[in-house]
Structure 1
Amino acid sequence: MATTADIRNGLNIRYNGKVYTVIDFQHVKRGRGGAFVRVKLKEVKTGRVLEETFDSGEEIEIVRLDFRKFQFLYKDGDEFVFMDLETFDQIHVPSELVGENALFMKENETVDILFDGDQILGIQLPTFVELEVIETEPGIKGDTVTNVMKPAKLETGAVINVPLFIEQGEKIRVDTRTGEYVERVK
């Protein structure tokens, strides 16, 4: 079993029944008393960050997580159906695990699903997706003040701010991490 001497940034560990990723750690040696390791952990499922202190030499459980490629097929009630691109098996993922990613996922999109053994921990979309603007107000000629934005509804139902020159029917590139407009796609 691993100890606190094996802790490094990016390591995945199981702590109190949950899977965390080590964001930052610091080995502290006091003048008196034993050494300890101060660790900043990010919960894989929720993204919540917490700080913990472990005694030097304390045992920790390292978790091996793996990403597998899946294709989003369709939404079925409160679940999303994905197909494994290697085995062609279909899985149903509850909407709580998909979360905000649903705003930028369209059918046949390839995503990475994070697994801890057979348990699904989360979904990761590509960094940029191309989506069509299905509804937006027309830009007013002469209204060209720098960085003026207007709301636009995308084919997935998401509403984001886009520049005035973007019109209905155009394809745009969206950053899935921030939900912001990046550029127009030709």
Structure 2
Amino acid sequence: MKINAGEIRVGMLIEYKNDLWQVLKTQHVKPGKGGAFAQVEMKSVNKNTKLNERFRSSENVEKASLDETNFNYLYDDEQNYFFMDPKTFEQTEIKKEIIGEKGKLLTENLEVTVSFYNEKPISVELPNQVTCKIKNTDAALKGQTVSSSYKPAVLENGLSVQVPPFIEAGDNIIVDTRNLEYVKKI
């Protein structure tokens, strides 16, 4: 689908120079002399390289069309995570590099959205919030106020997050999957 260069937004996937690119940053510039343009920083989905490109506002770029499907997480091995389509019970495997650090937040039967490009999985979208259990945490220092201080805590899945001083080992908390931050205690 063709879009105008002025419509490029962060997070968008575009087809450019025979590759698939994810937009990291975009800045629309209207200089005093000459035409307006969009300065776009992109990362290649396949090659993991970055590119800074300048598109004139009159230019058109090809927005990638993705197929999104809901899957349930099943299990993982050394290289892959395995998911199942709840409607067809068809299984698919996705390489651990695609999901990255957020793969540690996957729990059995967690529903995720997988984006496919040309029938190849390119990204996995987790729910915005997941429940995790605190494995261990440092002791709170006396005299610290709750609003200004956080302490490090390690979750049972191995991830480290900053939590308020009243959180103890064994507590269940909600973590935001987009930025891996503490939301609230359950």
TM-score by length of 2: 0.76
Q: Distance in 1 between matches of 2:33 and 2:153?
A: 60
CA gap 1:178/1:60 in 2 versus in 1, 3 angstroms: closer
Contact 2:104–2:157 (8 Å) recurs in 1: yes
Aligned to 1:40: 40
Q: Distance in 1 between matches of 2:57 and 2:167?
A: 57
Q: Does structure 1 residue 156 correspond to structure 2 residue 174?
A: no
Q: Distance in 1 between matches of 2:99 and 2:174?
A: 21
Q: Distance in 1 between matches of 2:156 and 2:52?
A: 40
Runs (5+) with no aligned partner, structure 1: none
Aligned to 1:8: 7
Q: Does structure 1 residue 126 correspond to structure 2 residue 111?
A: no
Q: Distance in 2 between matches of 1:85 and 1:114?
A: 16
Structure 2 counterparts to residues 90-129 of structure 1, below 5 A: 90-129=91-130
TM-score by length of 1: 0.76
Q: Distance in 2 between matches of 1:29 and 1:161?
A: 43
CA gap 1:73/1:36 in 2 versus in 1, 3 angstroms: same
CA gap 1:180/1:29 in 2 versus in 1, 3 angstroms: closer
Aligned to 1:77: 78
CA gap 1:183/1:82 in 2 versus in 1, 3 angstroms: same
Contact 2:43–2:49 (8 Å) recurs in 1: yes
CA deviation after TM superposition for structure 1 residue 131, in Å = 0.8
Cα-to-partner distance string for 1:40-85 (whole Å, 9 max, x where unaligned): 1443738976431346766643321132211111111221111122
Task: State the AA in 1 paired with 2:157.
Answer: T
CA gap 1:6/1:54 in 2 versus in 1, 3 angstroms: closer
Q: For this pair of structures, how many residues does the alignment match? A: 180
Runs (5+) with no aligned partner, structure 2: none
Question: Identity percentage over the alignment?
Answer: 30
User: Aligned Cα RMSD in Å?
Assistant: 3.3
Aligned to 1:136: 137
